[in-house]
Structure 1
Amino acid sequence: MLKEEHKVAVLQVPYSLAPMVTTMINIRCKMSVPNHIIWSLCNTIFMNLCCLGFVAFTYSMKSKDQKMVGDVAGAQAYASTTKCLNIWALVLGLLLIIAFIIISATGSLIIF
C-alpha cells in the first residue's frame, strides 16, 4: 500500500467562524461514609461508661445528618470521631467487666 492511502484529510474550520462549545459533565461520587449508629446504640445501652456511648451516638447522628445534606467531609469527620469514641467505650467497658470477673472470682468482692 502506498503512504498516501493511509492519510486522512482533516477539515478544519477557522477559529473565528467556529462557535465555542463546551460540555460540562458532573459526576457525583457516591462515597459510603459509615456512621456507626448500631455500634453507638449498643455502646449506649450496654457499656455506657462515662457516657461515651451516648456521646458516640450523638456524633453518629450528626454524621448521618451531614451525609444527608451532602457534606461528605463533615460526615467523615463526625464518623471518625464516632469510631474513636465507640472504640474507647468498648475497651473501657470490657476492662470493667474483666476486672469485675477477676474480683468476684478471687473472692475479694463482699456482697452485703
Structure 2
Amino acid sequence: MDNATYSCPSDYIPLNGNKPQENRPGATVVNMGPTAPPPKDYLIWSICNTLYVNFCCLGFLALIYSVKARDQKVLGDLKAAHNYSDKAKWYNILASGWNTLIPLLIIVLIVTGIVHLANAKGSYDFFGDDGYENFGKLFGK
C-alpha cells in the first residue's frame, strides 16, 4: 500500500490521549499479596563442593541440581525450581560433611597410629635418635 494514496477512516480514534472521557476504560486494581522470593540455586556452593574432594560425586550431583534449579527459575516454574533447590541444598550439605569428615578422619588415624607406635612394647623407636637405624632393622637391612 502506498503512503500517498492511503487515507484514514473517518471513525478512527487518535492515540494521543485526546479521547473523550466517557470512552476511557476504568482502572482495574488486583491485589496479589506479597510474592515469595525465588528459591536459591546454591550454584557457588555446588561448584566448591565439586572441585574439593567430591566424595562419591555428591558435589557433582549438587551441581547438576543447582543448574536445574537455575534453569527452572529462569523459565518461571518456581515449584520445580524449589524442588531442585532443596535437592541441591541437601547434596551440598552431604558433600560438605564428607569433605570435612574425611580429612579429619585421616588426621585422627595418623595421630592415633603415631601414638600407638610410640607406646607399643617391642616396637622400634622411629622418632628417637636412632630412628633411621631402627627403621632399617624393621625391614632387615
Q: Could you tell me the TM-score, scaled by structure 2's length? A: 0.56
d(CA) in 2 for partners of 1:78 and 1:49?
A: 21
Which residues of 2 match residues 54-69 of structure 1 at below 5 A? 54-69=60-75
Is there any run of 5+ residues in structure 2 with no aligned partner, and where? 1-25, 115-141
Q: Could you tell me how far 1:22 is from its partner in structure 2?
A: 8.6
Is there any run of 5+ residues in structure 1 with no aligned partner, and where? 1-20
Q: CA RMSD in A?
A: 2.3
Q: Which has the larger radius of gyration?
A: 2
Letter in 2 for 1:56: A
What does the per-residue CA deviation read over 1:44-93, in whole Å, with 9 as the maximum and x for residues that have no partner? 00030000000100000000000000011111100000000010111122
8 Å Cα contact 1:47-1:90 kept in structure 2: no
Which of the numbers 62, 80, 88 marks the counterpart of 2:86?
Answer: 80
Q: Could you tell me how far 1:104 is from its partner in structure 2?
A: 1.5
What does the per-residue CA deviation read over 1:11-39, in whole Å, with 9 as the maximum and x for residues that have no partner? xxxxxxxxxx7936385936231100010
Q: Larger RCO: Structure 1 or Structure 2 (Cα < 8 Å, ≥ 6 residues apart)?
A: 1
Which of the numbers 34, 37, 51 marks the counterpart of 1:31?
Answer: 37
